[in-house]
Structure 1
């Protein structure tokens, strides 16, 4: 656990600690919504915030943090900021895209910057240019990482095939792979690829776009612990040392989602939840992208 973090953290291959809990900001758009969510998150102990160029909220997130960090006696270095390259900037526009994220967030550096999607906006999934574009994007991220503008670099929505391809060609190993992960989609192969190469596997959509909240097995486990189903789903991941990024605009829910470090699921319940794995994906699939 890092000293500046209010929550436990995981050690990245860059030697930096990343909090196990972060606030996902997808669909948080207006300055008011972003401010309210960031304020609630900081108060609840979140020290990581996940944005992306396509979320169109980088500027609002940057402003909210500048305004709210002093309120909690925190500095820039006390929080971990992630953003992601817009699929339209994949390839030769990657430098422009990454620098724009830095500018909009109004930061000297971004803690973690990811290639958001293995494909390029406007290209067919089978177009071979997808492969050369993401290779070019990665080389750009490596350059910005070497300059210290991106403290860690990684990828999102990559399949095992995309990951193996990247590992063969990169100079700098990705620090993080961020993908959909929950009990119905355990990503066993992808996790073993990450483990083999020392890449941190990070979860998004831990609640299966809200669909898993009503799953009878998860509800039963939650009831036994006197917890919400969301807390159980998030706990199931962090208990495997997998960082999570629950997203919400509701301050009460943001606060509830942070209460995942003061209880432990039994081995039997962990296995029971993992046993729900059926390859069910709720988010967009990148498997067809060459």
Structure 2
């Protein structure tokens, strides 16, 4: 099938139970539903992670630039959940890229979270801080960063490596050079920005897609189409949007510091996970596509 022939509905598998995990190219099992911690700080971050772990979520997504590793460390320690049962993702920031610096950044993340290894490390952004988007230095520095991640992976310090916010050209560039192909690409996906070509490229290359901003930074929760579908399936708008992404083959990392919201995702996506959006409902959500971007845009980074 040509990419030009691809619609979101062809990426939806109906009639089968949704997997609780995705299997990365190296065999690592990756939880399909996790907790995002962007902008969560101090007690909010600690309590959110504690609630997520208590409720059965086993994937915590953070990044060095979020500055919340201390509270996450405390929550992991206090939860009583064995380290081997929690999948921890972090990211090398645009301020930390380059030979030597990226390794130091990953080691610093592990020290601050209090772990001996990370389950997944991503290059957070294809560009470098304080470097012009059209500068060739971006490509050089992200390549040096990737080489550092490859070495950490070969040493067993990280179980999987990947990228975040990589566009098609960034991904193709990396695939053409990497000794270890990226296992994950984390980027913005929701019904208004479905990224079919990028998702298809990831699928062809065996790269798992992790969708962020699945709720459209809360804007989509009040969209008439979303609320109508939610009423039809007797679920919340958030559950509908997350289910749409999961049925499309993405992992999701919704963020909240409210335990009741986290419980909502857990209850319906983990325990009550056998419900489905119908093809008609999926098609209605597909109709929201207009390319709208709620978060940062990497398209100008060369």
In the superposition, the TM-score normalised over structure 1's length comes to 0.94
Match of 1:77 in 2: 84
Match of 2:238 in 1: 230
Give every structure 1 segment of 4 or more consecutive aligned residues whose post-TM-superposition deviation is greater than 4 Å: none
What is the number of residues matched between the two proteins?
A: 279
Q: Of 42, 49, 57, which aligns to 2:68?
A: 57
The question of whether the paired residues in 2 share the 8 Å contact of 1:20 and 1:241 is answered with no
Q: Cα RMSD over matched residues?
A: 1.0
Q: Which runs of 5+ in 1 are unaligned?
A: 1-6
Q: Of 30, 43, 47, which aligns to 2:54?
A: 43
Match of 1:3 in 2: none
Shift of 1:124: 0.6
Shift of 1:59: 2.3
The question of whether the paired residues in 2 share the 8 Å contact of 1:237 and 1:243 is answered with yes
Shift of 1:275: 2.1
Match of 1:4 in 2: none
Shift of 1:241: 2.3
CA deviation vs aligned residue, 1:241-290 (integer Å, no higher than 9, x gap) = 21000000001011112222242111111122122111111000000000
Q: Of 155, 158, 161, which aligns to 1:150?
A: 158
Specify which structure has the bigger relative contact order, considering alpha-carbon pairs within 8 angstroms and separated by 6 or more residues.
2
Q: Residues of 2 paired with 1:35 and 1:155: CA distance?
A: 26
Q: Residues of 2 paired with 1:47 and 1:271: CA distance?
A: 31
Q: Which moved more, 1:108-117 or 1:233-242?
A: 233-242
Q: Residues of 2 paired with 1:35 and 1:102: CA distance?
A: 17
Q: Secondary structure at the match of 2:91?
A: strand
Q: Structure 1 residue 251 and structure 2 residue 259: aligned? A: yes
Match of 2:276 in 1: 264
Match of 1:174 in 2: 182
Match of 1:89 in 2: 96
Q: Of 27, 41, 65, which aligns to 1:29?
A: 41
In the superposition, the TM-score normalised over structure 2's length comes to 0.90
Q: Residues of 1 paired with 2:72 and 2:51: CA distance?
A: 13
